[in-house]
Copies of this chain bind each other. A is one copy, B any other.
Amino acid sequence: MREVAILGIGQIAVDEHWDKSIKELAGTAIIAALSDAQRDSTEALFIGNMLSGILGKQENLGILISDWIGLPGIEAEKIEAACGSGAAAFRAGIIAVGSEEVDSALVVGVEKMTESLPVETTEALATAADADYESSQGLSFVAINALVMQLYLHTYGWKHADFAPFSINAHANAMQNPYARLHEIITEKDYKAARMIAEPINLLDASPTGDGAAAVLLVPADSLINHKKRIIKIVGSASATDSIAIHSRKDPLWLSAAEISARKAYDHAGVGPDDIVFFELHDAFSIMSVLSLEACGFAERGRGPRLGLDEHITVNGKIPITTRGGLKARGHPVGATGIYQIVEAVQQLRGEAVPTQVRDAQIGMTQNIGGSGATIITHILRAE
């Protein structure tokens, strides 16, 4: 497969966008990405989205959005892997360009969530779990994650407060990101005092949903020989799955799909965890940050919280994470999240992430998760 590069990026603020329909959200991010790339067209369009059918009574997003942006005729489709839909669509775009089937692919992640009642959104998100064995029993996503976090605290002997640095870091990093949903410094005191949602997960362990869209334009890397900006190449891409239900896993505290997809991505890129300068991980809940860091080789099993307590996850730490706010503070418009992560990684690699710019950010990793660790998609990007 030929090498693929990211030529343009675009995003809108994660927020309540009551004045924009889903095609307008996506269209705005796409126009920004095309403008950044100084292009006016694409051969193919891949949409990452989870909930448009259930919450918006709208499927067929491929043609809906290609038509809206003035490009009817092109190839277009939607890809769904729950909250991992964005990265799944990104990977489809990489393979389409890499295979030489097309010479350009726009990938947009988009989600419109805030027009629905909270109970509707919670029910819609539960469709990522097994309807026969999980959601039909009343298991919501926060409940599933609460069971995992409880087991983690019990098994490895950590206190809930030991997870505070993950949320504090995410909020601090979002302060100067104009696209973030939350702009609010939080302290350990705030974290401890936050309202309980599903014990032990409280409000500050959980990421907020929102309406959002982010887009990237992919092209063959060898078409950029005379390109003036830094060239951002995708050097590792892999997707893996685990059992859909936590109760089916041998070890509910180990993200085996993260381990598999990270290992494949490391192998593709010819690097290891020590070479990764920053990591945009999937902190839908603080426990997920810890499990992801462990499965990807940044911490030993059961030792993940140490990275937070020792300040290794901050922008100036050993392995900076959620450098633009992460799911926790930038927000989690589910099908769009995977593309926000890519856009933010490109900002870091281009040196456009001031004031949360990571030094010597030449190689970065992103990881997007669908379901409770069920589908995990890992990418490694490098600036050249």
Contact = CB atoms under 8 A, between A and B. Distances in A.
Interface of A: 1, 21, 23, 50-51, 53-54, 56-64, 66-67, 72-82, 88, 92, 95-96, 98-101, 123-124, 126-132, 135, 238-245, 248, 256-257, 260, 370-371, 374-375
Q: How many copies does the complex hold?
A: 2
A157 to B, nearest CB: 30
A158 B189 CA distance: 77
Most buried by B among A54, A63, A96: A63
A373 to B, nearest CB: 10
B60 A244 contact: yes
B239 A75 contact: yes
Contacts of A374: 60, 63, 67
Contacts of A77: 79-81, 88, 92, 239, 375
Given A1-B100, A77-B239, A241-B73, A82 B59 contact: yes
A244 B67 contact: yes
Contacts of A81: 60, 62-63, 76-78
Nearest to A371: B60
Contact of A60 (B75, B98, B370): B370
Nearest to A123: B57
Nearest to A45: B241
A179 B100 CA distance: 37
Contacts of A75: 238-241
A63 B131 contact: no
